[in-house]
């Protein structure tokens, strides 16, 4: 299904996984970072800033990958980077390791948006 699925399959599959993962993790991340990771409020804000900068660095690359190889490549790469980031996230403490994790996480999320936009543009009829 994943290798041969159509556009609608990819949108529902990947967006559903992404939304579920974000909803399950985003609300408790600050508590985790403070209580288990050992970060203070300023460091938590800084890792989120690092995430945002990393996320802004990848959309152009993602768009080029989508145009050249199709949307599956940046979507798969983005989710792979997010998986790697969460795997590391669960095994580190301290600011520098979390800054690295948030950089990887931001790069992965940044790969997803242009690919999703490209998929949606293929689904929406041209006359609308």
Domain boundaries, the chain: 7-122
Q: Mean pLDDT, to the nearest integer, of 8-17?
A: 74
Q: What is the pTM of this model?
A: 0.79
Q: Report how far residue 7's alpha carbon sits from residue 104's, in angstroms, rounded to the nearest whole number.
A: 27
The CATH architecture one would assign to domain 7-122 is Up-down Bundle (1.20)
State the average pLDDT for the chain.
85
Of 14-28, 47-61, 88-102, the poorest mean pLDDT is in 14-28
What is the reported pLDDT for 5? Answer: 61
> Is the pLDDT at 125 greater than 90, yes or no?
no
What is the reported pLDDT for 114? Answer: 86
The percent of residues above 70 in pLDDT, for the chain, comes to 91
């Amino acid at each position: 299904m994943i290798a041969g699925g159509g556009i609608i399959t990819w949108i529902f599959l990947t967006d559903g996984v992404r939304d579920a993962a974000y909803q399950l993790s985003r609300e408790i991340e600050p508590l985790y970072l403070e209580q288990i990771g050992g970060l203070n409020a300023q460091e938590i804000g800084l890792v989120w800033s690092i995430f945002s900068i990393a996320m802004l660095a990848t959309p152009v690359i993602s768009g080029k990958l989508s145009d050249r190889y199709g949307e599956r490549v940046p979507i798969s790469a983005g989710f792979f980077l997010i998986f790697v980031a969460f795997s590391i996230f669960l095994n580190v403490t301290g600011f520098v390791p979390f800054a690295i994790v948030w950089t990887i996480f931001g790069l992965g999320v940044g790969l997803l948006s242009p690919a999703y936009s490209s998929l949606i543009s293929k689904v929406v009829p041209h006359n609308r």
